Amino acid sequence: MIPAYQQSDSLADSIRSVLDQAEVDLELIISDHASTDGTEEIARKFESDPRVRIMRIGAGGGAAANWTAVTDEARGEFLKLLPGDDTVTPGSLARQLALLRAHPDAALVGGRRRIIDATGRTISKRRGLQGLEAEMTGGSAVRASVRSGTNPFGEPGAVMMRRGAFTAAGGWQGDWSYAIDVATYYAVLQHGSFVRDDDVASTFRISGGQWSVALVDQQADEMSRLFAEAGRMFREVSPDDVARGVRRARALARQRRIVYRVLGMVKR
């Protein structure tokens, strides 16, 4: 599922990265969230492919509205959401699908991702999976995430979920703004285990205008609240784990501010 908004410059690459996948039976649903920059027109260029369905929703509701709308249209047993400025790497869908089929108790597989800037320059070649073992119970995987102070599973393009677990979790956790993906992973991992994809599964683009210091701090605040919530959700997550995660999230926020300033993406 590709939820898109004002992404006419990057959407074609995102779509091609999906349609070029080999050895996997897929459907691709693209949902344009009332864009005004020609995003829908870009999507329509791929409409002749029988695997592609295109929809458009009205303005409002933020990312959660588009993520939910496009996912509600999906019919497959396994789900992957790919933001309209990211891509999946060749072979990643078949590889992650095989991992979930080989581990019938697994609810979620997460992979590494390549981080790029708005120009496509690589910032990090193999980011993610820190603290995560090849196979883990859901609670153990969430504990590892909390202790890392970040999202080791990856942005949605690096993750594939089993539909049954996603539905049981209540879908996208729209009460969370910046942490909607991680909060959803935690909810899904209440209904199954985690399996690791060691290869790079996606590219994640840091773009979309300037990032403010306030935004970085707001993200850290929300992650800290999510870690506290994880402590209530999972017996494996202790108060010490939560405290460690909060400290780590604050430290990582300071590091991100430095990186974004170096890249010229942050305003004070």
* pLDDT tens digits, 195-220: 999 999 999 988 644 444 557 788 88
Average pLDDT of the residues in 161-189: 97
Query: What's the pLDDT at 255?
Result: 77
Given pLDDT bands bounded at 50, 70 and 90, which one contains residue 99?
very high
Angular region, 33: left φ>0, alpha ψ -120 to 50, beta rest: beta
Q: Quote the pTM value.
A: 0.93
Among the listed ranges 105-109, 226-230, 264-268, which one has the minimum average pLDDT value? 264-268
Given pLDDT bands bounded at 50, 70 and 90, which one contains residue 268?
very low
Query: What's the pLDDT at 262?
Result: 61
Q: What is the mean pLDDT of the chain?
A: 92
Average pLDDT of the residues in 218-239: 96
Among the listed ranges 15-29, 53-67, 213-227, which one has the minimum average pLDDT value? 213-227
Whether residue 144 has pLDDT greater than 80: yes
Whether residue 181 has pLDDT greater than 80: yes
Q: Are 112 and 200 in contact (CB under 8 A)?
A: yes
Whether residue 244 has pLDDT greater than 50: yes
Amino acid at position 61, single letter? G
Query: What's the pLDDT at 254?
Result: 79
Query: What's the pLDDT at 207?
Result: 65
pLDDT digits 0-9 by tens, 29-65: 999 999 999 999 999 999 999 999 999 999 999 999 9
Average pLDDT of the residues in 165-176: 97
| Residues of the chain by 3-state class (helix, strand, coil), percent to 5 | 45, 20, 35
Query: What's the pLDDT at 119?
Result: 84
Give dist(CA 256, CA 95) in Å, integer: 31
Interacting residues of 74 by C-beta distance below 8 A, sequence separation 6+? 1, 27, 29, 163
Average pLDDT of the residues in 244-249: 95
Query: What's the pLDDT at 267?
Result: 45
Give dist(CA 194, CA 161) in Å, integer: 10
Query: What's the pLDDT at 212?
Result: 47
Whether residue 85 has pLDDT greater than 80: yes
Give dist(CA 259, CA 266) in Å, integer: 9
Average pLDDT of the residues in 154-179: 96
Query: What's the pLDDT at 210?
Result: 41
